[in-house]
Structure formats: structure tokens, C-alpha cells
Amino acid sequence: MTFDETLDQLDRALATTGRIVAGVAGDQWGDPTPCAGWDVRQVANHLVGGLSIFALQLDGQDSAVDHDGHDWLGADPAAAYAAAAGADRAAWRRPRAEARVFDLAFGRVPAPTAVVVHLTEVVVHGLDIAVATGQEELADESTAAGLLATMQAMGAEAFRVPGIFGPELAAAEGDPAHRRLLAYLGRRVTVG
């Protein structure tokens, strides 16, 4: 997949995850998610923080803020997500974005690699929230299937460490792509 094609996938994922975040009911923010140890608000906060940090790096600004130690959501998580997604989308479409180098938790990576990492975060954390809040019908099965194929081709073994991905779990026969993707990354779709 080319850089521009990956950006198109990111645009779709940002929109899909936006619909999921907007659909979270007020009493669901503390519900557990397939992302072990994190509730819906923590996953959404991490996601909005990631969007904001990528946008800052793409704009050449300092992004040395504590990703998960900062409240990125405020009083209106859906609005915070929408604003961060808009800034992120615009930043990736700026001239020379493909030439950028990013400082990620596991090291410095070129933009074509960073955008796949970023796409993975947006899709997977969106799915974490969808599963936790009963919104799986909003999952984009085409994007999930494509990302699963990409991850399987690249191999996720180096990222199967606490805090990133767990050991691959068996998906049930006939599971949709979004559940197979979550199982591949070690997430249990039954939460509680």
C-alpha cells in the first residue's frame, strides 16, 4: 500500500472511530474494554493524545507531553476526539509529511512506518471502544480486514509485549474481520 493509500485508510478510520466515540453513552466511560486494564475513557484519552502528538510532530512542534498522564478529553470527549482527528488529518496531508521522521515509544521511525502504526492505533482503539460499548455494528470490516492482512504480513511478534499487543488468541469460526483483528492482537472481545 502506498503512503497516500494508507492516508486514505487513516481518513476512513478516523471517521469510523469518530462515530464510535460519539456513540458512547454517558454511563459507559468507565466500562472495561478489550485493551486490558483500560476503561473506555482511558482508551479514548490515549487515542486523542496520540492524534494530538502526531499532529504536533507533523507540524514540527514539541510533543514531549506525557501521553497518558494528561487529560486530553476534558468535559466533552466526542468534541475532543473530533478536534484532534481534524488536526491529525490535516497534518498528515501537509506537503512533505511523507519525509518526516517520528519519535515513537519504541524509537525513531520514518513516516511510512509511523502512519501504519498510527492507523493501527486508530482502528484498534476504535474497535476496543466499539466492543466495550455495544457498537460493533459500526466497525469498518474492510479496513479491519486490510489491517489484519498487513499486520500478519509484517509480523507482530516484536510488539507482543505488555502494554502493546498480547499473544494471539483464537478467533471463533466465522468471526467478522474486526474480531479476528482484535484476537490476532491478543484482545479478548468479551469484557467485564
Q: Where are the beta strands (DSSP E) in 2-154?
A: 101-104, 107-110
Q: Where are the beta strands (DSSP E) in 31-144?
A: 101-104, 107-110
Q: Where does residue 120 rank: exposed (0-12), middle (13-18), buried (19+ CB within 10 A)?
A: buried
Q: Which helix (H) or strand (E) holds 112?
A: helix 111-132
d(CA 150, CA 152): 5
Residue-wise pLDDT tens for the chain (192 aa)? 899 999 999 999 999 999 999 999 999 999 999 998 999 999 999 999 999 999 998 988 877 677 778 999 999 999 999 999 999 999 999 999 999 998 877 788 999 999 998 999 999 999 999 999 999 999 999 999 999 998 888 776 666 666 678 778 888 889 999 999 999 988 888 755
What is the reported pTM?
A: 0.93
Q: For the chain, what is the largest distance between any 2 Cα atoms, rounded to a whole number of angstroms?
A: 46
Domains of the chain, with CATH numbers?
Answer: 3-184 (1.20.120.450)
Q: What is the CA radius of gyration of the chain?
A: 16
